[in-house]
Amino acid sequence: MTFRFGPLSIDAVEYASQGNAILGIRDSGKTYTATGLAEQVFDAGIPFFAFDPIGVWRWLRVPGAGRGYPVVVAGGKAGDLPLSVDGTAELVRQAMAGGVSLIFDLFDITLSKSDWRKIVTVAVRTMLHENQAHGLRHVFIEEAAEFVPQKVLDGVVYAEIEKLARMGGNARLGYTLINQRSQEVSKAILELCENVFLHRQRGKNALENMDKWLQVAEAAERKKIISSLPELPQGQCWAWLGGDKPLPPTLVKVPTKNSLHPDRRVMRGDVVAAKAAPVDVADFIARMRGQLSQPATPATTPKRKEPEVTGEEADRLRTENAELKRRLAALEGAPAAPSQAASTAAPVSLEGTFDNERLYQAIKERLVKEAPGILKVLTIRPELEVKVERRTVQADGSSLKGRIAQLIAEGFFNDGKTQSAARSELKRRGSDPNSGNLWREITALQKDGFLTKESGDAYRAVEGMKVNIV
Ligand SMILES: Nc1ncnc2c1ncn2[C@@H]1O[C@H](COP(=O)(O)OP(=O)(O)O)[C@@H](O)[C@H]1O
Ligand SMILES: [Mg+2]
């Protein structure tokens, strides 16, 4: 099967089994090109893995100009499955066995860069050892210089990707590296790439480096390419296809992809991304969850010490439990309200296996619909939903407000803490907020009734405020 790439025709199997590089400055269209190629690879029946430190690939699920794709997302802001170093090998195994395309969404508050490298190491190692029997698969690596930089910092992850580049063919693996500047990515590995897609490139170093490279490779029209690179519009690139029958570099307008490509505003959450719902992959996820012999729990999730439960709390939990059971019974499809007859939503069946994922999704959907007074801290699962009577605030788990809300949920403010104590704690967790911003968010949370200001400038979490871990 071949696919069109502007004037070029690319054989899907050939592309998927080769080494490829997509290079260009920020916003030049690299990710668009890469995800578009991933769609073509998928359409040719070839599954893929994508390592995505920027949290963009998950949008492949959402229809854009065409359909969305049933890919499974591990980790990130909206992962179907949790992502951790410990769970990676099993995740890779199950995806390979099931022919599932899986995105490692590394843009995840619980993962450090060192975790990223460990995850990529374990994943690539597992693929190299075990993929052969499962057939051709492609691996996309965004921000490749994090893993295979020209100046090697972490020899372990470098060695795994080098093996993928040199010997991936034996395990029926091909790969695509995506990066802003060619000079930042290991030359030794870039030189192994058969196909290169050059997007807009600026800067003396980058252009000189590119020029040398084209020179060595005796690329036709070298001068024309170099002089056009700084002004290439978004979505255009020089496609330089090598392989057995090398073609001269060709200027290509990258074809429109099917799924939605998020722009900056969508990424910031300023606008609703799409009218169409994302593709449902519940079956995949339920199966994978079932098959994961050891549940993948985030290794770096901060451990929370459970305080002793008092009789009063136990009673409250019992009441909540009864309420949840009642809601579950309603979700089972009991004809509680006459309007149910008109509903087209499939009832959640509790017959056979107890399907946690579907139940979780069903309960979540219903709560979001029916309980508008919810402060939602969007973070990786377990999600934290803080319910207040007065108002609705939406905070993102990676925003400052979201991080403070997490501190509240963890009980940090229970005995009263000053702003500077909060700042030290946030700093300890890897983000040092500017004190002006911190003051603004804490004051806003005070105004909204989550915190009270006590003597000694300490802020205390409001008693009786409900924190429901869903
Ligand atoms: N082939 C294309 N067709 C239409 N729009 C594109 C295309 N390539 C890129 N764009 C636009 O350019 C923006 C930046 O592209 P993106 O791939 O995210 O850049 P990069 O990964 O290089 O930072 C996208 O939001 C999209 O709107
Ligand atoms: Mg990008």
- DSSP secondary structure letters along 307-353: PPPPHHHHHHHHHHHHHHHHHHHHHTT---SGGGGG--SPPPP-SSS
Domain membership of residue 336 (yes or no) is no
Distance CA(139)–CA(131), nearest Å, equals 12
For the stretch 348-381, pLDDT in tens is 333 334 456 666 676 666 666 655 444 444 433 4
- Residue 255: inside a domain: yes
Q: Report the number of distinct structural domains present in the chain.
A: 3
* Domain span holding position 439: 400-461
Task: Find where tokens 């490749």 sit.
Answer: 144
Q: Ligand 1, atom 9: nearest CA belongs to which residue?
A: 29
Residues 235 and 144 in one domain: yes
What local confidence, expressed as pLDDT, does residue 71 receive? 95
Does residue 327 sit within a domain? no
351 & 416 share domain: no
Final residue of a structural domain among 293, 323, 354: 293
Taken in order 264, 267, 270, 274, the sign of the CA dihedral is positive
Residue 127, in any domain of the structure? yes
Q: What is the pLDDT of residue 151?
A: 93
Q: How far apart are CA 250 and CA 432, in angstroms?
A: 46
Indicate whether 229 and 128 sit together in one domain. Answer: yes
- Whether residue 360 is found in the same domain as residue 221: no
Q: Are residues 451 and 350 in the same domain?
A: no
What is the C-alpha to C-alpha distance for residues 284 and 301, in angstroms, rounded to an integer? Answer: 25
Residues 219 and 365 in one domain: no
Residue 428 lies in a domain: yes
Cα–Cα nearest to 88, from 57, 62, 46, 117: 117
Determine the distance separating the centroid of ligand 2 and the alpha carbon of 197, expressed in angstroms: 14
- Within this chain, do residues 197 and 65 fall inside the same structural domain, yes or no? yes
Among all bound ligands, the one having the nearest atom to the CA of 23 is 1
Same domain, 150 and 217: yes
* Total-model pTM: 0.65
- Kindly tell me the sign of the dihedral angle through the C-alpha atoms of 23, 25, 26, 28: negative
Which of 19, 55, 31, 56 is CA-nearest to residue 179?
31
Atom of ligand 1 nearest to the CA of 255: 1
Residue 324 covered by a domain: no
Final residue belonging to a domain, choices 277, 293, 309:
293
Residues 419 and 368 reside in one and the same domain: no
Do 189 and 152 touch, CB atoms closer than 8 A?
A: no
For residue 470, tell me if it sits in a domain.
Answer: no
Mutational test site, ligand 1, from 4, 22, 32, 40, max ligand atoms within 8 Å of CB: 32
**Which ligand has an atom closest to residue 235 CA?**
1
Among 249, 273, 293, residue at a domain's last position:
293
Same domain, 273 and 421: no
**Nearest CA owner, ligand 1 atom 6:** 235
Residues with CB under 6 A from ligand 1: 24, 26-32, 234-235, 254, 256, 261, 263
Q: How far is the CA of 294 from the centre of ligand 1 (A)?
A: 38
Report the SS3 class of residue 447: helix
Cα separation, 356 vs 375, whole angstroms:
24
Is there a single domain that holds both residue 89 and residue 43?
yes
Dihedral over alpha carbons 401, 383, 93, 294 (to 10 degrees)? 120
pLDDT digits (tens, 9 = 90+) for 229-277: 999 999 999 999 987 778 889 999 999 999 999 887 666 554 444 456 6
User: Which of the two residues, 207 and 273, has the higher pLDDT score?
Assistant: 207
At 293, the pLDDT band (50, 70, 90 cuts) reads very low
Structure tokens at 68: 């969305």
- List, in sequence order, every residue forming a beta bridge with 468; answer none if it has no partner: 385
How much is the average pLDDT of 216-225? 85
Asked whether residue 307 is assigned to any structural domain, the reply reads: no
d(CA 444, CA 405): 11
Paired strand residues for 2: 11
Pair 95, 45 in one domain: yes
pLDDT in tens, 296-321: 444 344 445 556 667 777 888 888 88
Q: Which of 122, 114, 138, 112 is nearest to 88 (CA)?
A: 122
**Strand 173-179 relative to strand 137-141, pairing:** parallel
Ligand 1: which atom is nearest the Cα of residue 180? 22
Q: How far is the CA of 139 from the centre of ligand 1 (A)?
A: 20
